Amino acid sequence: MHLFDASRRFYGGNAIVAGGLPVAVGLALADHMNARPNVTACIFGDGAMAEGEFHESANLAALWKLPVLFCCENNRYAMGTALAREHAQTDLATRAASYGMIAWAVDGMDVEAVAEATRRAVDEIRGGGGPCFLELRTYRFRAHSMYDPDRYREKSEIEQWKQSDPIPALAGRLQSRGTLTDADVGRWAAEIEAEIKAAIAAAGEAGLEPVADLTRFVTSPQDSVGGPT
C-alpha cells in the first residue's frame, strides 16, 4: 500500500477505499491537457464502487474523455460484505457503462483473458474513445487481513474457487501447448521460493528504523524562513 515510484509512473496505493480513483483521474487529466500519450490504469475493488469517489471520478472521466482504464477487481466481498449486500445492481460493468464509457466483464481468473481485455481497452483509450472499465471477476482465497476471522462465507466456497486458481491454470495451458515444461515450472518455483526466503531473512536481520525517521515523508521540510516549502 505504501509502495511508490514516480519514475515508473507508479503512484502507489491508498488506505482510503476508492481514494486512488480521483488521483488517477487527475493524472489522466494532466496527460490529456499536455497531449501526452499515456494511459492511467487504476485498480480497485468492488467495495470502492459503493463510494462516492467512484461515481464522481467515472462521471468526470467520461465527460472529459480522459485516458483512464478503470480496473475493478470484483472478488465478491468488500472486506466482509458480500456483493449483493452492498450493491443493488451486482453487474458492475453495467453500472459503469451507465456513465457513457465502454465497459465489459472479464474472467479475472484467466490470465490470458485479462491480458487480451486490457490490450483492447488500452487501444480504445489511445484511439480517443475516452475511459474504459474492466470488471475482473475474481476471488480471494484468504481472509481480507490478519484481523479478519473470515466467518462470512463457507469454507466449501473457497475450496470450489481454488479449482480455478489462475496460476496453475495458466501453467497447465502453456504446458499443453508445449511452450512450458515441467522443468521450467520446477526451476521457477525454486527461484521464487529462494527469493522469498532471502527477503524474509534480510528483514529479520535488518535493524529497527531510527526514531528520527518517523516523520520522514510525512511532513513537509521547512524553508529558510520557517514556513513549509
Q: What is the pLDDT of residues 171-206, one digit of tens each?
A: 999 999 999 999 999 999 999 999 999 999 999 999
The domain boundary residue, chosen from 124, 157, 190: 157
For the segment 27-78, what is each residue's pLDDT rounded down to a tens digit? 999 999 999 999 999 999 999 999 999 999 999 999 999 999 999 999 999 9
Residue 188 lies inside a defined structural domain of this protein: yes
CB 62 within 8 A of CB 100: yes
- Residue 188, C-alpha cell as written in the block: 521457477
91 and 172 together in one domain: no
| DSSP string for 151-219 | -SS-HHHHHHHHTT-HHHHHHHHHHHHTSS-HHHHHHHHHHHHHHHHHHHHHHHHSPPPPGGGTTTTTS
Does 216 map to a domain? Answer: no
Assess whether 107 and 49 both reside in one domain. yes
Same domain, 22 and 126: yes
DSSP structural state of residue 8: G
Clarify whether residues 189 and 84 are in a common domain.
no
Q: Looking at the structure, do residues 44 and 150 belong to the same domain, yes or no? A: yes
Q: What is the pLDDT of residues 111-157, one digit of tens each?
A: 999 999 999 999 999 999 999 999 999 999 999 998 999 999 999 99
Residue 196, domain extent: 165-205
Same domain, 125 and 14: yes
Check whether residue 171 and residue 74 sit in a common domain.
no
- Structural domains in the chain (count): 2
Task: Give residue 131's pLDDT.
Answer: 98
Sheet of 102-107, strand order:
40-45, 68-74, 132-137, 102-107
CA-nearest of 122, 17, 31 to 70 is 122
The model's pLDDT over 198-217, given as tens digits with 9 standing for 90+, comes to 999 999 999 998 998 888 87
In a domain, 110, yes or no: yes
Residue 123 domain-assigned?
Answer: yes
